[in-house]
Structure 1
Amino acid sequence: MSRWVEHVVWWHVYPLGFVGAPRTADDGTAVQHRLGQLVDWLDYVVELGANGIALGPVFASSTHGYDTVDHLRIDPRLGDRADFDALVDAAHARGLRVLLDGVFHHVGRAHPLFEAALAGGPEAALFRLRTTADGTVDWDDFEGHHDLVALDHANPAVADLVADVMTHWLDAGADGWRLDAAYAVPPAFWAPVLARVRAAHPDAYVVGEVIHGDYADVVTRSGMDSVTQYELWKAVWGAVTTRNWWELAWSLDRHNGFLDTFVPYTFVGNHDVTRIASQLDDDGLLGHALVVLLTVGGTPAVYAGDEQAFRGVKEERAGGDDAIRPAFPPTPDGLAPDGWWAYRLHQDLIGLRRRHPWLHRARTRTVELTNEHLLYETSAGDDRLLVALNLADDEPWAADLPDPGWAVLEGTATLDATRLTVPGRAWAVLGRA
């Protein structure tokens, strides 16, 4: 993994929603130069403390971006190649890395290669087609969505296609890739593909979307740098909402094990899940979730809008992602005034992480644990912080520290020698005095 990744905090944005693009596109859709709207948010990202932009799909598609119809063309609802180049240049000028979202498990039903396959062309070998009993052609898809046509990853031509696309956009200035639905692709497929990509771009960062399974094994066999840490995501909001720190403590032990093999991509929100502010349904507890994200080992990402305490509930229905993928105002000046407290909270905790870059590979150790109280140490080598989390509504929590010499760096607490008192519903991060 490239050294620059050790310092990255991603700001993850879903471009089609962010710019208010129409729901659908086709071959006749005129180019609309909306991607430039993101340029007007880059200073806001820098001031937040992030130094990377993780983009959702930007390539030509029919609807939500994950039904790609041309991997080498920018979606006309967003703009064109010149708009992409301008965004990358503007990001790099501010020290922001750019991560792209690659959909390589499947393509959209309207992809020209698939249309040629249905017409009987040699492109049929790229897909898992079959003839049904009534003589019609059918195909494998992505999780029952028949407009998302699965590629045949056993075919070397598919590996060529993916390697060429990844290299093309890294040549264009991107710094890495998120591999969508990587859990649905055999890990062995990725190893030779990524070897080819890294031959041209050895510093590229590659993270796979893996929701469940053996994370370390996927990383080892695929050659990816990392995978998405959904276990920790679930444990963070689950522990807070149920007043059960045992769930988080168990997951942090698992997280330590992952760090033996790779550094997970960590988050408390993304474009596929209910927003953290809605998940907790209590703004007073947002800090408890965020402090975990930014004090444990990992490469953290903040989903655009979470830093303003945006709300949105994902629903399992057509259009069920709309609430978590809203349009943003043209510039940050258009944001409502009632979310800036969350932005400042993010600034403070991202700043803490910046001052302690060793947190990227930090392991945690539970010091004290009850349902509502958690004190853990996060460390790497000789560097240490203590994190105290109190979920009790009205009761202060007095905790014994493992040794003297600590000071409160962030949060709310009082110290008396080795005795720490954290007010109800509060948290604190301690460092060496």
Structure 2
Amino acid sequence: MPSWTEHAIWWQVYPLGFTGAPATARPEVRHRLRHLEAWLDYVVELGCSGLQLGPIFAAETHGYDTVDHFRIDPRLGDDADFDSLVAEARRRGLRIILDGVFNHVGRSFQADERWFRRGSEGYEVFEGHQGLVALDHAEPAVRHHVAAVMNHWLDRGAAGWRLDAAYAVPASFWREVLGEVRARHPEAWFGGEVIHGDYARYVAESGLDSVTQYELWKAIWSSLNDRNLFELAWALDRHDGLLDTFVPLTFVGNHDVTRIATRLEDPRHLGHALAVLFTVGGLPSVYYGDEQAFRGLKEERAGGDDAIRPAFPAEPGGLAPDGTDVYRLHQRLIGLRRRHPWLVRAHTTAEHLTNTAVALRSRPRDGGGTEIVTLLNLGDEPHRFPIGQVDVAEPQRGVSDPAVVPAHGWSIVIQVTEEVGNSGKTGRR
């Protein structure tokens, strides 16, 4: 994994929705991509280190039905708009990751018919979506095309790629493509969308740097809703196993799922979800609007993604003030993570575990030093954790004893391990 990604925290944006672009393709060029430039200082102030962009290439509708990978969607602008965004981001120390939709294309994508997979009833499509025609990844021309697209936009300043529906593509295809692209861009990063299955095996076989950690995403909100923190502990144990081989992409929201503020049945538990995200290993991302406690329900129907892909105002000053507290909480938690960059590869163990209370201890992989302990209480009464002497990193208001977490509260404490005498053993203070 490129060294710069050890400190990566992404602000994920779906540009077509963010900029209020029309739902279907238009021939005229509208320079909406520049709308994002007004939000770059906001991203820096939030504490993120880069933008993870959704589809920006010419497409028929939602962007995942690409018709030209070498052209910016006219609804968003043109090459000059992209170059300007990259330059303004770079000036602020921000990197940009692009969304590569290379499993399927839109119906009007122009290519030799050998590029497409055929079934008994014509061209195969992606998961029943008739507008998404599946590419044939055994065809050499497809491999050369994908490598050329990746190199083109990396040449123009992108820092890497998030590969859409990577799970639907043979791992061997990515390995061949990435070998060619990395020869030209050794510092580029490549992450894939993988929902189910053996994450570690897919990373090893594909050569990707990372994949999406949907298993942990589900465990976070589900364990909070069900008041079953054993589920979270189980998922974190599996998560630690992944960290032995790669650093997963972690999140509590993205462009394909119901927003976390809507998903959680008890709004008091939003902070719990965020505390877990930012104190366990992984490459975390914040989906635009989640940091403002936006709500939105994903529905399985035409237009069912609209509620989770809204337009943003022209500039940050146009946001409603009722999201300020959650924004400030994101700032504090991201700040904590940036002060402890070892968290990217931290291993986390669940201690003092009950259905409604747990202490999550995150420690550096090399052992010793500072440890971050995240205390979660989902119960209706205060809970005392037997954690010893600690420094409080994110306290609960009005609580003098850091070992006591109020009902439906959470806190983050810091413990330091040090050698005890000459025994070579370590203890916590």
User: 2:269, 2:408 within 8 Å by CA — same for their partners in 1?
Assistant: yes
User: 2:59, 2:106 within 8 Å by CA — same for their partners in 1?
Assistant: yes
Matches within 5 A, 1:238-317: 238-317=222-301
Alignment pair present for 1:32 and 2:30: yes
Matches within 5 A, 1:43-192: 43-113=41-111, 123-130=112-119, 132=121, 138-192=122-176
SS in 1 for 2:130: strand
User: 2:373, 2:415 within 8 Å by CA — same for their partners in 1?
Assistant: no
The match for 1:398 is 384
Matches within 5 A, 1:338-417: 338-380=322-364, 381-382=367-368, 383-393=370-380, 395-401=381-387, 404-412=388-396, 414=399
In the alignment, the residues of structure 2 paired with residue 385 and residue 81 of structure 1 have an alpha-carbon distance, to the nearest angstrom, of 44
Superposed CA deviations along residues 43-85 of structure 1, whole A, max 9, x for unmatched, are 0010000011000000000000000000000000000000001
In the alignment, the residues of structure 2 paired with residue 356 and residue 415 of structure 1 have an alpha-carbon distance, to the nearest angstrom, of 25
In the alignment, the residues of structure 2 paired with residue 350 and residue 159 of structure 1 have an alpha-carbon distance, to the nearest angstrom, of 38
Q: Which amino acid aligns with 1:127?
A: F
Alignment pair present for 1:426 and 2:412: no
In the alignment, the residues of structure 1 paired with residue 270 and residue 10 of structure 2 have an alpha-carbon distance, to the nearest angstrom, of 19
SS in 1 for 2:208: coil
The match for 2:23 is 23
Superposed displacement of residue 411, structure 1 = 3.2
In the alignment, the residues of structure 2 paired with residue 162 and residue 12 of structure 1 have an alpha-carbon distance, to the nearest angstrom, of 23
Is there any run of 5+ residues in structure 2 with no aligned partner, and where? Answer: 417-429
In the alignment, the residues of structure 2 paired with residue 189 and residue 411 of structure 1 have an alpha-carbon distance, to the nearest angstrom, of 48
Superposed displacement of residue 155, structure 1 = 1.1
SS in 2 for 1:400: coil
Superposed displacement of residue 283, structure 1 = 3.0
SS in 2 for 1:112: coil
Is there any run of 5+ residues in structure 1 with no aligned partner, and where? Answer: 114-122, 133-137
Superposed CA deviations along residues 380-404 of structure 1, whole A, max 9, x for unmatched, are 12231111000113x1001101xx4
Q: Which amino acid aligns with 2:374?
A: V
Superposed displacement of residue 131, structure 1 = 6.5
SS in 2 for 1:386: strand
Aligned positions, number? 412
In the alignment, the residues of structure 2 paired with residue 130 and residue 429 of structure 1 have an alpha-carbon distance, to the nearest angstrom, of 54
Q: Which amino acid aligns with 2:99?
A: D
In the alignment, the residues of structure 2 paired with residue 25 and residue 31 of structure 1 have an alpha-carbon distance, to the nearest angstrom, of 10
In the alignment, the residues of structure 2 paired with residue 60 and residue 268 of structure 1 have an alpha-carbon distance, to the nearest angstrom, of 29
SS in 2 for 1:409: strand
Superposed displacement of residue 284, structure 1 = 2.0
The match for 1:235 is 219
Q: Which amino acid aligns with 1:387?
A: T
Superposed CA deviations along residues 159-215 of structure 1, whole A, max 9, x for unmatched, are 101101001100000000000000000111110100111001111110000000100
After TM superposition, what 4+ stretches of structure 1 lie above 4 angstroms from structure 2?
413-416
In the alignment, the residues of structure 2 paired with residue 371 and residue 151 of structure 1 have an alpha-carbon distance, to the nearest angstrom, of 46
In the alignment, the residues of structure 2 paired with residue 415 and residue 250 of structure 1 have an alpha-carbon distance, to the nearest angstrom, of 31
User: 1:407, 1:415 within 8 Å by CA — same for their partners in 2?
Assistant: no
Superposed CA deviations along residues 212-257 of structure 1, whole A, max 9, x for unmatched, are 0100000000000000000000000001111110110000000000
The match for 1:116 is none
The match for 1:2 is 2
Q: Which amino acid aligns with 2:189?
A: Y
In the alignment, the residues of structure 1 paired with residue 94 and residue 119 of structure 2 have an alpha-carbon distance, to the nearest angstrom, of 45
Query: What root-mean-square deviation, in Å, do the aligned CA atoms of Structure 1 and Structure 2 show?
Result: 1.2
In the alignment, the residues of structure 2 paired with residue 281 and residue 30 of structure 1 have an alpha-carbon distance, to the nearest angstrom, of 44
User: 1:315, 1:321 within 8 Å by CA — same for their partners in 2?
Assistant: yes
The match for 1:117 is none
In the alignment, the residues of structure 1 paired with residue 150 and residue 262 of structure 2 have an alpha-carbon distance, to the nearest angstrom, of 35
User: 2:292, 2:324 within 8 Å by CA — same for their partners in 1?
Assistant: yes
Overall identity of the aligned pairs, in %: 62
The match for 2:200 is 216
Superposed displacement of residue 281, structure 1 = 4.0
Q: Which amino acid aligns with 1:13?
A: V
TM-score of the aligned structures, taking structure 1 as reference length = 0.93
In the alignment, the residues of structure 2 paired with residue 425 and residue 268 of structure 1 have an alpha-carbon distance, to the nearest angstrom, of 19
